Amino acid sequence: MPPGTVRAWVVSVVHVVQHPLVQAELTGLRCRNCPGPEFRQRLRRIASLMVPAVTADFETKVVPCETPLEMTSGVEMTRRIILTPILRAGLGFLDGFFDLLPNAAIAHIGLARNEETLQPEPYYLKTPPILADSEVIVIDPMLATGGSAVEAVKRLVELGATHIRYACLVAAPEGIATFEAAWPDVPVFTAAIDRGLNDRGYILPGLGDAGDRLFGTA
Ligand SMILES: O=P(O)(O)OC[C@H]1O[C@H](OP(=O)(O)OP(=O)(O)O)[C@H](O)[C@@H]1O
Ligand SMILES: O=c1cc[nH]c(=O)[nH]1
Ligand SMILES: [Mg+2]
């Protein structure tokens, strides 16, 4: 197994992005005193720093290219990329991905976790046409129980997606296990696997409520 990957206890592999810049940004984000503007900037930078790892195996095709001096060849991405933030907190991850993947289309999926049942409640869905060969990247900073991620992938599969990957910032072991049981073929990329969940479904040590910290709703 390459460095930075962890064999989760079910079947597939979770990629932990261990780059020092990612880990240092994450530490700053976790701090309770990190103010909103800094939280948003750090999240955006981490998202960009994670893009190379998340897209490392994307297919390219050879294309001709004319420099000011002569003809040569280069590459371009073979497949259309669709970034799929899970609202709301996924929006905090979106710009950092969009900065490096400016030709991506965006699918928005609105899911709110019910505070009592911890089940995701769908409230919005707007996607571009999803072709079977589109590369779909689901983004959300937090993988807690895994319910929201499982539901988002289900929606995308129903719409025809076949190449899906999931990227988050902080994952709980419980969420990874649930996600992998539901979608064993969907690779997971995260910057950290934390200790576990508290009795309200929050990740420990985590970073608190990502949506509230991003949008000042606490
Ligand atoms: O793995 P889970 O247990 O499903 O929890 C994770 C979800 O919870 C948070 O969203 P939330 O529902 O709080 O909505 P918000 O982003 O609007 O705050 C987070 O952004 C994830 O989408
Ligand atoms: O710790 C958690 C769990 C779910 N959603 C969050 O924003 N944080
Ligand atoms: Mg929230």
DSSP character for 31? S
pTM: predicted TM-score of the whole model, two decimal places? 0.94
The total number of structural domains in the chain stands at: 2
DSSP character for 209? -
Distance, CA of 2 to CA of 7 (rounded, Å): 11
- Clarify whether residues 5 and 52 are in a common domain: yes
> pLDDT value at position 218?
86
Q: Is residue 108 part of a domain?
A: yes
CATH classification of the domain holding 91: 3.40.50.2020
- Ligand 1 nearest-atom number relative to CA 211: 18
Q: Which of 129, 159, 189 is the last residue of a domain?
A: 159
Q: How far is CA 61 from the centre of its chain?
A: 25
Range of the domain at 126: 79-140+152-159
Q: Which of 127, 159, 191 is the last residue of a domain?
A: 159
> pLDDT value at position 138?
98
For 183, other C-beta atoms within 10 Å of its C-beta total: 20
Q: Is residue 201 part of a domain?
A: no
Tell whether ligand 1 has an atom less than 6 A from the beta carbon of residue 86.
yes
pLDDT in tens, 19-38: 999 999 999 999 999 999 99
DSSP character for 3? T
- Clarify whether residues 91 and 133 are in a common domain: yes
Q: Is residue 13 part of a domain?
A: yes
pLDDT in tens, 188-211: 999 999 999 999 999 999 999 999
- Clarify whether residues 52 and 90 are in a common domain: no
Among 209, 214, 215, the mutation site with the greatest number of ligand 2 atoms within 8 A of its Cβ is 209
What separation in Å is there between the alpha carbon of 209 and the centre of ligand 3?
A: 5
Q: Is residue 172 part of a domain?
A: no
Q: Is residue 115 part of a domain?
A: yes
pLDDT in tens, 74-120: 999 999 999 999 999 999 999 999 999 999 999 999 999 999 999 99
For 5, other C-beta atoms within 10 Å of its C-beta total: 14
Distance, CA of 102 to CA of 113 (rounded, Å): 30
Pocket of ligand 2 (CB under 6 A): 89, 142, 144, 201-203, 206, 209-211
Q: Is residue 174 part of a domain?
A: no
pLDDT in tens, 65-76: 999 999 999 999
- Clarify whether residues 90 and 39 are in a common domain: no
What separation in Å is there between the alpha carbon of 2 and the centre of ligand 3?
A: 33
- Ligand 1 nearest-atom number relative to CA 90: 20
Q: Is residue 15 part of a domain?
A: yes
Among 84, 113, 194, the mutation site with the greatest number of ligand 1 atoms within 8 A of its Cβ is 113
Average pLDDT, whole number, for the chain?
A: 94
Residue written as tokens 């962890």? 6
Q: Is residue 61 part of a domain?
A: no
